Structure 1
Amino acid sequence: MRFQHCAALLALALGSTASIAPVTANETGKRDPGSFTIAVIPDTQNYLDYAHQTEEGFPFNAREIFYDQMAYIARNAQSEGGDIAFAVAVGDVWQHATSKMDDAHARMGLKAIPNKLADSILAPDQRAVTVEMPIARKGYRMIAGKLPFAVVPGNHDYDANWSDSRFPPAEDYRNPGTNKYPYGQLHYGGLANFNAVFGKDSDLFKGKPWYVGSHNGGANSAALFTAGGYRFLHIGLEMAPTDEVLAWAEAQVKAHPGLPTIVTIHDHLSPAGKREPISVVDFKAVHSEHNNAEDLWTKFLSRHDQIFLVLSGHQHGQAHRVDKNAMGHDVHQVLADYQDRHQSLIQAAPGVKPRLGLGIGDGWLRLMRFELGGAAPRIVVSTYSTLYKSNAAQLPTYSAFYKAKEKPELSDAAFVGEEEFTLPLDGFANRFARARTK
């Protein structure tokens, strides 16, 4: 589909939206030494998709929304006088694979089959290398040198993408009968593309003193940052990590004992708050050595007391839950993924009916403000759009834009409450006393 509307129409259509941004130290000139913000960058694949640029006839360059997100983070980094101490991307940086099957899986004798639904929007394309990956590099270079950050791979960031012949899709996915996988099973392999941009030897991370560990070339990473009077450890994991990867992650925890630890992985929670994969992307179903989200909780997350927060994307929507670890302490788990939102497209191209493959994201970021200096430490979570320049709670049309598709069963207030909430950090000071910097 080619669109004839120009990019200027988008700016005109959005010109009357709210302009209330989160208060940052960069705007006030003051910063509470016990507080700081982590910027969470949800799946950006639709901003970077080569098909979502004016060169391909799209009504605007979706990449500009991504650049605006990165510019916002750079502008509000603590090094620039702002409040953001760390940033993390939850994966699916770009959209397309570049091959049908990687060599490692081909050697296993696996076979690909046609999948009409997936092939129509996810067929491998070399424009991932010539268009999408360069956009990613440009965006992340905007924050490189401003603050520590991490990026984890999502399924779209793998080199290869195919439909596994062992899991044929139902003839009619809406009436699958006994077929457990009505859409088939998408299979992914190879991380050379991801490591070319975000690997341990990339210019984004090589030589950075805060980048303290990696595995599988950088598909898994460890980083340190200091903020709010504490030193923190961040561990980024590849999708459905094997036991070998978990052994590496455990070694990182043991190498940094007592530090409050955040773990980011592409797929962990569903929008219903369950630790379960979507049916069409189930790494454990295709290879049993992969660990799913429940395995990850049992084998790793719940066993290490210094892990207190888990971040994820992948599954369209938002959710959060808390579970007690083996030591009886809270572990907060938070999902944020806005890739399927497309109000920006509706406003830029009136009359166009968005369909599968035409999501954008609308500029939404998660901002997690840690307030650790008081008697009741907490994380104040907000959701902010760099496109609308507004928090979810301050955008009058927020529920009208998104609720019917995402969580129609909720009231408007409850739907906004999914984006603006507080996570109590009970006992944080005692639990992490040895990590204090002063």
Structure 2
Amino acid sequence: MSPSGVSRRSVLSAAAVTPAVVATSGAVNAAPAQAAPHSQASPDGASFTFAVLPDIQYLIDEGGSDHEPVRESLRWAVRERRNRNIAFLAQLGDLTEHGTKAEMQVADTVFRTGVDGRLPYSVLAGNHDVSGDDQRGDTPYLRTFGPGRFARSRSYGGSSPDGYNSFHTFDAGGRSWLVLALDWRVSDAGIRWAQRVLDRHPKLPTVLTTHDIVWADESGDATLSDHGRHLWDGLIRGNDQIFLALGGHYWPCGRATLTNDAGNPVHVHITNYQDRYYGGAGMLRTYAFDLARGCIDVETFSPWLLTKKNPTPLEAETAELTGEADRFSIEIPFTERFAGFAPPPNPPSRPASEVLVAGTAAYWRFDDEGFAGTGDDGAPVAGGAVARDLSGNGNDLVAQRLHDGPAEVLTWSADHHAGAPAHASVRFDGGKNPDRGAVLHTRSGAPVNTATFTRGYTIETFFRLPEPFEGDHAWMGILSWEGRAGDAGKDGGYSTDDAVCSLNVTSERFLQYVVYPTSINDDPTCWSHAVPIGRWTHVAIVNDGSHTVVHVDGSPIARNAAQHSRGIATVGKPFAIGGTQSGGRFGQGFYGQVGDTRIVSRALARNEFMLPG
């Protein structure tokens, strides 16, 4: 029961009849997904866990309760801090049932012996701990969990003048994060304080925690409560930093995704299990952030129940919750989501001198250092424009439109892979039915035209497929040597009409690297996975004089050719970027962008690629 004597279920039922505002501003439900139970964080620093402890009041009730489940949850978080890279624990209010001095003393002991000094955490007051808004003055809660408790915590950043709202910062996943722990009834003064905190930390992604923000129907669809609407309008929607907001108070659990004023999603969740067996049994919810995958995997379980060696049926069915509201994944492309307030650093361009490693046979880039066709972003590249071979070996590329294509079939772009040496690229708007395209290819007599690379080679390029990826562009070429394999004396493999060496994109967006080597009458072929659209990709084709291994974004692919492969058969024809010939002629051209491209006459190690890191 609340201090006013009204049950939460009654409050929920009343809200369901006359909701303040339904959270329909861009609201959608996140899709459920299965996650491995208690999966460990990867050791590369790109993942961490944010733990959440919701309403525990039924377990700290002087009228009769058992606080051991809460102790075990806190002990579990401390024990698993290293294994799961648990960076922070947030409690969501209603620490006690009545908010009395005696109950606060129990809560004090539970947290002091379970987590204090061992793991950064925050708490906040719920309606069973206090009454009124955050201007209420002194209470047993404030004397127990006020600013003095956290003064020595490294994560603690400060509290509002009333002491009921606090903020914390922590480092994880290669960046700093902010936690706003707000009272169950935040006053306008409290909101102004929270805004000042955000203004002082303008680049920190923020998790907002409070006791009452949304309620949910039985399907798990969540709606802003009155207090939630107060926070949404007064603080959340106007601060793009806040991407996740967590509350308790109501049951059942649920979630919604709202759209803020910047047009970005804000994920809002209810976490409360006091209606479950044993007052929730100290349920923990873990938010496993995986920055590499761009998602948060959510799990819910009771560490205390999981310790039971011979659990009863009720204990066993409650120990771990796997419903759609309790176990799910949220897709968050973190870099893009946070770009509005914390854009990723753009590494400076690197001069050609830093890219010309020993054995460089050719190196082309499309900025002012290497390309005569630069201009405004989107400007057409003139026919005959030259991309100089910065290796000094004379393999300059010359622009040519195919099939009398229009100007827009080859344009200059300032877009580039974040790790590319040059901050520029060329965009090809090739297609088929009818064939159209453009190429940049070497002149007759260029040294690379006849190079056989029998001692090994590395071919690297950066490319990007457009999003949306429109039209039929199957089997288009990214780069190749012109001419027919048959003219090099090759009649094995796919066809004598094929190019002697090419990197192509298949109908499934797999990369196909096919080469007719000098050593055999065959065409060893490497196949990648489906490459993404709308994202820059780096490819490195490495041949050690015996075998070829293709790397995508620095990682070797699975389907590398097993056949012996030495060198590249040559017919003395030009090297080209933007297409692959068949039968000695270009059909469709490439559809996408190409950046820095380099050929080296030896097998490079991973740390020698143009891709940094």
TM over 0.5: yes
The corresponding residue for 2:196 is: 251
| Worse overlay, 424-433 or 263-272 | 424-433
The corresponding residue for 2:323 is: 416
Q: Deviations over 1:328-383 (max 9, x none)?
A: 111110111011212x4xxxxxxxxxxxxxxx212311110000023xx1110110
Point out the structure with the larger helix share. 1
Aligned: 1:275 with 2:220: no
Q: Distance in 1 between matches of 2:271 and 2:138?
A: 23
Equivalent positions of 1:316-331 (< 5 A) are: 316-331=251-266
The corresponding residue for 2:38 is: 22
Q: Distance in 2 between matches of 1:297 and 1:275?
A: 8
**Contact persistence 2:207–2:242 (CA under 8 A):** yes
Query: Of residues 295, 299, 307 in structure 2, which corresponds to 1:382?
Result: 299
SS at match of 1:416: coil
Q: Distance in 2 between matches of 1:400 and 1:263?
A: 31
Amino acid paired to 1:321: A
Aligned-pair CA distance for 1:67? 0.8
Aligned-pair CA distance for 1:85? 0.5
Aligned: 1:147 with 2:119: yes
- Residues 88 and 435 of structure 1: is their aligned pair in 2 closer, same or farther, counting only changes over 3 Å? farther
Aligned-pair CA distance for 1:31? 2.6
- Residues 400 and 73 of structure 1: is their aligned pair in 2 closer, same or farther, counting only changes over 3 Å? closer
Amino acid paired to 2:125: P
- Residues 381 and 396 of structure 1: is their aligned pair in 2 closer, same or farther, counting only changes over 3 Å? farther
Q: Distance in 1 between matches of 2:129 and 2:137?
A: 9
**Contact persistence 1:379–1:424 (CA under 8 A):** yes
**Contact persistence 1:399–1:416 (CA under 8 A):** no
Q: Distance in 2 between matches of 1:76 and 1:399?
A: 22
The corresponding residue for 2:282 is: 363
Aligned: 1:212 with 2:144: no
Higher relative contact order (CA 8 A, sep 6+): 1
**Bigger Rg, structure 1 or 2:** 2
SS at match of 1:340: coil
- Residues 335 and 304 of structure 1: is their aligned pair in 2 closer, same or farther, counting only changes over 3 Å? same
The corresponding residue for 2:250 is: 315
The corresponding residue for 1:430 is: 339
The corresponding residue for 1:261 is: 206
Q: Deviations over 1:272-309 (max 9, x none)?
A: 301125xxxxxxxxxxxxxx211211121000011101
Query: Across the two proteins, how many residue pairs are aligned to each other?
Result: 299
Q: Deviations over 1:411-438 (max 9, x none)?
A: xx9x7111111111132363564588x9
Aligned-pair CA distance for 1:246? 0.5
4+ runs deviating over 4 angstroms: 188-191, 395-402, 431-436
Aligned-pair CA distance for 1:271? 2.2
Amino acid paired to 1:143: V
SS at match of 1:133: helix
Q: Distance in 2 between matches of 1:421 and 1:365?
A: 14
Query: Of residues 65, 85, 88 in structure 1, which corresponds to 2:87?
Result: 85
Aligned-pair CA distance for 1:147? 2.3
The corresponding residue for 1:232 is: 177
Q: Distance in 2 between matches of 1:148 and 1:432?
A: 25
Q: Distance in 2 between matches of 1:401 and 1:77?
A: 24
Aligned-pair CA distance for 1:401? 6.2
Q: Distance in 2 between matches of 1:71 and 1:396?
A: 25
**Contact persistence 2:240–2:341 (CA under 8 A):** no
Point out the structure with the larger strand share. 2
SS at match of 1:247: helix
Aligned: 1:39 with 2:51: yes
The corresponding residue for 1:106 is: none
**Contact persistence 2:70–2:281 (CA under 8 A):** no
- Residues 85 and 308 of structure 1: is their aligned pair in 2 closer, same or farther, counting only changes over 3 Å? same
Q: Please, what TM-score do these two structures have when normalized by structure 2? A: 0.45
The corresponding residue for 2:483 is: none
Q: Distance in 2 between matches of 1:75 and 1:22?
A: 13
Query: Of residues 181, 185, 200 in structure 1, which corresponds to 2:147?
Result: 200
Percent identity over the alignment?
A: 30
Aligned-pair CA distance for 1:82? 4.1
Amino acid paired to 2:291: L
SS at match of 1:50: coil
Amino acid paired to 1:314: H
Q: Distance in 2 between matches of 1:367 and 1:361?
A: 15
